[in-house]
Amino acid sequence: MNEKKIVAQVIAKELNDELTSDKIYELLESPKNIEMGDIAFPTFSLAKKLHKSPQIIATELAEKIDVSSFEKIEATGSYINFFLDKNAVASDVINEIVDKSGSYGNQNIGQGRNVTLDMSSPNIAKPFGIGHLRSTVIADSIAFIYEKLGYIPVRINHLGDWGKQFGMLITAYELWGDEEAVKAHPIDELLKLYVKINAEAETNPQLDEEARAWFLKLENGDKEALALWQWFRDESLIEFQRIYDKMNVSFASMNGEAFYNDKMDEIVDLLEKKGLLIESQGASIVDLQKYNLNPAMIKKSDGATLYITRDLAAALYRKRTYDFAKSIYVVGNEQSGHFKQLKAVLKEMGYAWSDDMVHVAFGLVTKDGKKLSTRKGNVILLEPTIDEAIERSLKQINDKNPKLANKEKVATQVGVGAIKFYDLKTDRMNGYDFNLEKMVSFEGETGPYVQYANARIQSILRKANFKVNLNLQLSFLENGSEHWELITLLKDFPTTVKRAADKYEPSILAKYVINLAQSFNRYYAHVRILDETSERESRLTLIYAVSVILKESLRLLGIESPEEM
């Protein structure tokens, strides 16, 4: 039941088509507090048409509207405030959640079409730092959200396994590498080599030239270069997979940049055939002046390709392979210029589906206010961070509930969930300063706080030996503040999911679930849920519905919900 649509229809009926119900629906607002009603209609837009003040319109219209579908209707200033029949709405909402359970809020907008997500994309031969966390968890959550709207998400880990940095790394290995040391601790040793050569190259330009030469060898299929590259890649993937397993993130494809090496010639040929490729100072470019963008360099003067060449090949491959409805790139905000160029080149090539490509940008993670940089050796490694979060969670569980079964499993769910939630609750365009202590706290706007709210509900339901009763006629004698806030939030869940999808913004859902957990805790503090009263079953059914939505919201954020904590 959509109460806003009912309100729009009853208003439209009395206005005799002065405004359509669809237009009225768009104008409806939610009052700032519960005492002012549940839905408000501002009458300002009718003043010119009816030649009356908004206050008079509100008063006269409120007297005409049939009140039978509502608890009451009031004119307050220029607004008509509608107070819903709370018990009727509560019964409808809770019974729908109980009946549908985790499928409450499902919408078939996508109709089974594919949505590709370019995500995570760590660089081979470098440790998986906290900087790659954002792309991973934001995209994973968007994938779950779009799946709930009826799309099929295709998670693609576009690995950074090609480019000049491999020329740098091979040069460093040839100069200072120790095969046994690399075999013993591959990522640590490769990181040391990478940091060292970048530092040395600042005062020795010859190293940069050697790196370019090695990368050109790699592109031309040199056996020694390819063997070293493959070794670096294989060792990196073992480490990455271990971290993805801990985070419970999986991919449909791990095709990185190297996968497109044999697909770039077609792009160059297509650009030439369409007359889009221009020579400029020995390089091949596409002029994008009409888009107010810098030229897109397709090939350097030495014949080496660039990121955009591969990304053009990747875009075409994905469209052919997945026929996507949307192609979402969850990549840092600093790459926004690159993606504008990418879309513009594809549009120039005549591909209308370039409009279906979306760059979902995000801000940086900092530490003590400073930007992280692998090149400079200033990086927070993700795996030891996850391990520490799990340890901190286990300590808190031991302090609060030492007899808890499966403590290690629960600590993993809480620790991993804490890191993900802290990232996802931040508006993605904002960065945040990394603080593990705040992340793992059971107090405040954190993942553990939300998980604990759900575990508390499960504990109450176990004590009550609660059994689900479908189509229960619910009754709440408190008739207002305590339970109505929860009902309103539960009712808003489907529109919240849709809004999070439309804005590619998991933080909308994260903030929603914080509000729901806080609202439950207020309800729990004021209402004696387990007392043997006529309302007992209604109250238990209400908190059961809250638990369903807490768990589903966390699932859409890629976070598990322990039954006990």
Residue 19 — pLDDT band, cuts 50, 70, 90? confident
Task: Match 């971290």 to its residue by tokens.
Answer: 243
Q: Which long-range contacts (CB under 8 A, 24 or more apart) does 409-415 make?
A: 409/562, 410/562, 410/564, 410/565, 412/246, 413/451, 413/559, 413/560, 413/561, 413/562, 414/390, 414/440, 414/447, 414/448, 414/451, 414/562, 414/565, 415/386, 415/389, 415/390, 415/391, 415/440
> What beta strand segments (E) does 12-151 contain?
39-42, 70-76, 79-84, 114-119
Q: Where are the domains of the chain?
A: 3-84, 114-268+305-371, 382-556
Q: Are 264 and 307 in contact (CB under 8 A)?
A: no
Task: Read off the DSSP letter of residue 260.
Answer: G
Res. 90: pLDDT tops 90: no
Task: Read off the DSSP letter of residue 253.
Answer: B
Which amino acid, 482?
Answer: E
Res. 481: pLDDT tops 70: no
Instruction: State mean pLDDT over 208-222.
Output: 91
Q: What is the pTM of this model?
A: 0.90
Q: Are 441 and 448 in contact (CB under 8 A)?
A: yes
Res. 391: pLDDT tops 90: yes
Read off the pLDDT of residues 425-455 as tens digits, 9 standing for 90 and up: 999 999 999 899 999 999 999 999 999 999 9
pLDDT value, residue 39: 94
Instruction: State mean pLDDT over 536-545.
Output: 94
Res. 318: pLDDT tops 60: yes
Least confident of 190-194, 481-485, 528-532, 556-560: 481-485
Instruction: State mean pLDDT over 526-534.
Output: 91
Residue 398 — pLDDT band, cuts 50, 70, 90? very high
CA–CA distances in Å: residue 209 to residues 163, 216, 252, 283, 363: 14, 11, 37, 18, 33
Res. 35: pLDDT tops 90: no
Given CATH 1.10.730.10, say whether it is the number of domain 382-556.
yes
Residues near 183 by beta carbon (within 8 Å), at least 6 away in sequence: none
Residue 377 — pLDDT band, cuts 50, 70, 90? low
pLDDT value, residue 68: 85
Read off the pLDDT of residues 233-254 as tens digits, 9 standing for 90 and up: 998 898 899 999 999 999 999 9
Tell me the angle at which helices 536-556 and 493-502 cross, rounded to the nearest 10 degrees.
Answer: 10
Q: What architecture does CATH give domain 114-268+305-371? A: 3-Layer(aba) Sandwich (3.40)
Go through 523-552 and write b for each residue having 16 or more CB atoms within 10 A of its CB, e for each that does not.
Answer: bbeebebeeeeebebbbbbbbbbbbbbbbb
Res. 305: pLDDT tops 90: no
Residue 49 — pLDDT band, cuts 50, 70, 90? confident
Tell me the angle at which helices 86-100 and 481-491 cross, rounded to the nearest 10 degrees.
Answer: 50
Least confident of 50-64, 300-314, 475-489: 475-489
Q: Look at residues 454, 463, 535, 548 and name the one whose alpha carbon lies nearest to residue 94.
A: 548
Residues near 482 by beta carbon (within 8 Å), at least 6 away in sequence: 522, 523, 526, 527
Residue 177 — pLDDT band, cuts 50, 70, 90? very high
Give the integer Cα–Cα distance in Å for 471 and 94: 9
Write the burial class of residue 22 (CB in 10 Å: 0-12 exposed, 13-18 middle, 19+ buried).
exposed
Q: What architecture does CATH give domain 3-84? A: 2-Layer Sandwich (3.30)
Which is more confidently placed, 362 or 533?
362
Instruction: State mean pLDDT over 413-417.
Output: 98
Residue 478 — pLDDT band, cuts 50, 70, 90? low
Q: Are 537 and 404 in contact (CB under 8 A)?
A: no
Joined together, the tokens standing for residue 426 give 């931040």
DSSP-based three-state secondary structure for 178? coil
Res. 477: pLDDT tops 60: no
pLDDT averaged over every residue in the chain? 92
Give the integer Cα–Cα distance in Å for 81 and 70: 11
Which is more confidently placed, 19 or 363?
363
pLDDT value, residue 306: 81
